[in-house]
Amino acid sequence: MRSVIDVPDLTLGELDRLMDTAEDIIARPDQYSELCHGKKLATLFFEPSTRTRLSFEAAMYELGGHVLSVTGAGTSSAAKGESVADTAKTVSCYADIIAMRHPKEGAALVAANNASVPVINAGDGGHCHPTQTLADLLTIRREKGRLDHLTVGLCGDLKFGRTVHSLITAMSRYEGLQFVLISPDELKIPGYVEKDCLKKKDIPYTQTTSLEQVIGDLDILYMTRVQRERFFNEEDYLRLKDSYILTPEKMKKGRPDLCVMHPLPRVNEISVAVDDDPRACYFKQVLNGKYMRMALILMLLKEAGRI
């Protein structure tokens, strides 16, 4: 059974086709409104979410399907000690496809190995978040007209920010990319992303602590929240949480065609005064996420022979 747990589960060709499908959904939504008639998506969210859960649910409704939802570990039998494996086997009896978010790295893979329906990882701990990457890729392709030959700055919590790990993994497959990694020393990207992705593929990257010094070099600036929930020590979080705040003043140093992204939710990383800047693309990302999740649900249900 085909599931999507991490970005490499999708080939470059499949990413292109998903983006093409999303574009077609945007252009001709009526053609898609009954394709999942009678089918059910289960959203199992054992961690907080606004965008990912609601966009999966909106996606399934806009495809004509139905949604079953678990929100919070406390409202399901996980609170009684049920394993992820047993939960996946159980939910497979009710739903045609599962989207799952879990605080533990690897939980979605365990679910996929035990489910008899496709499982989509909607974020597993500090590991990865492949469907956010689908939203990010469509946003970049729509805003810049390409996914290659770009200078991409990633700023903030690069250690715990799972969207960063997935985006680097995805974009490192395109030609002519270079990354500028902007973070405090304590929040640099994990060694496995640096070694297995950037170094292994010989992708140019620089690391810096200064956003101001590099913002003028960037095509994309991907801001991230410092992930309070992954810190062991509240003091460290309080010390690091406001390391980077993007303001209209700093935006003056950015290129006229800079694309500013953020997976959201934001706390302080982007001043609300930046929202009116035409280079602010983060709410477009939110909408693009719904279309890409529609495209992914369709792809997986077709492959599973369920539509």
Sites of contact with ligand CP (CB under 6 A): 49-52, 123, 132, 263-265
Name 90's Cβ contacts closer than 8 Å, sequence gap at least 6: none
Annotated catalytic residue 127: no
Give the residue among 138, 226, 219 at the shortest CA–CA distance from 179.
219
Closest separation between CB of residue 271 and ligand CP, Å? Answer: 19
Closest separation between CB of residue 163 and ligand CP, Å? Answer: 6
- Catalytic option among 39, 40, 53, 101: 101
Closest separation between CB of residue 231 and ligand CP, Å? Answer: 17
Task: Rank residues 254 and 263 by Cβ distance to ligand CP and give the closer one.
Answer: 263
Annotated catalytic residue 90: no
Task: Rank residues 114 and 293 by Cβ distance to ligand CP and give the closer one.
Answer: 293
- Report the SS3 class of residue 66: strand
DSSP E strands: which ranges in 72-110? 97-102
Strand order in the sheet with 220-223: 205-208, 178-182, 151-155, 220-223, 259-261
Peptide bond into 190 cis (omega under 30): no
Residue with tokens 């990413």: 15
Task: Rank residues 261 and 299 by Cβ distance to ligand CP and give the closer one.
Answer: 261
Annotated catalytic residue 165: no
Contact assessment for residue 276 and residue 248, using Cβ atoms and an 8 Å cutoff: no
- Catalytic option among 102, 129, 159, 225: 129
Annotated catalytic residue 262: no
Annotated catalytic residue 266: no
Task: Rank residues 132 and 172 by Cβ distance to ligand CP and give the closer one.
Answer: 132
Active centre residues (catalytic): 51-52, 80, 101, 129
